[in-house]
């Protein structure tokens, strides 16, 4: 099926009786305009659509939102390039700070992954103005070990995109 759009649903139950987001997107990326509740289990599913109809929904997948302590813009000169800095402290227990630079208005996604590549937290998923930022991650409830954090940023004016991954260590 040649999809012309996708329908994404997010719900609080795997039967999708309580849908909290129902979004149709033309691109292969979706942004939730309003935030989900912290430390909550959600389920998502997607289906493709075109002029001929719609596919069946995908298998429902579970994800749990983390605790975002806030994204803070850092005052100063505008950055000249995208950058992702090493978190500090590292190793950490139970929270750490991740800093990054965005040189142009961009959609920014910062995600934490475990050693098996499973997404364990999304810290940022929004459009941000050009600036330097910091976000705190509180890993309370997570197991000790090595994790990875990844930034994906795509400028709104089409001038560029950026991806970088770094590792961090949680020691209990």
CATH number for the domain harbouring residue 110: 2.60.40.1220
Domain boundary among 64, 89, 114: 64
% of residues, the chain, pLDDT over 90: 45
Residue 73, pLDDT > 80, answer no
Q: Are 161 and 93 part of one and the same domain? A: yes
Q: Are 165 and 87 part of one and the same domain? A: yes
Domain boundary among 31, 48, 64: 64
Q: Are 10 and 56 part of one and the same domain? A: yes
Mind listing the pLDDT tens digit for each residue in 24-34? Answer: 776 665 556 55
Residue 101, pLDDT > 70, answer yes
Domain with 163, as residue range(s), is: 68-170
β strands within the chain, DSSP E:
5-11, 19-25, 41-50, 53-54, 61-64, 68-74, 83-84, 95-102, 106-113, 119-128, 131-138, 145-155, 161-170
Residue 99, pLDDT > 90, answer yes
Mind listing the pLDDT tens digit for each residue in 108-124? Answer: 999 999 999 999 999 99
């Amino acid at each position: 099926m040649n999809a012309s759009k996708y329908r994404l649903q997010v719900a609080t139950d795997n039967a999708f009786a309580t849908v909290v987001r129902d979004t149709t997107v033309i691109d292969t990326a979706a942004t939730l305009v309003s935030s989900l509740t912290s430390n909550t289990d959600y389920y998502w599913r997607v289906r493709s659509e075109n002029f001929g109809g719609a596919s069946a929904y995908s298998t429902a997948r579970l994800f749990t939102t983390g605790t975002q302590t806030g994204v803070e813009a850092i005052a100063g000169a505008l950055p000249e390039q995208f950058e992702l800095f090493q978190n500090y402290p590292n190793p950490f227990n139970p929270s750490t700070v991740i800093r990054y630079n965005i040189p142009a208005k961009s959609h920014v996604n910062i995600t934490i992954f475990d050693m098996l590549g499973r997404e364990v937290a999304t810290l940022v998923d929004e459009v941000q103005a050009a600036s330097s930022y910091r976000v705190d991650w509180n890993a309370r409830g997570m197991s000790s070990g090595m994790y990875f954090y990844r930034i994906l940023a795509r400028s709104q004016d089409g001038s560029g995109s950026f991806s970088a991954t770094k590792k961090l260590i949680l020691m209990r």
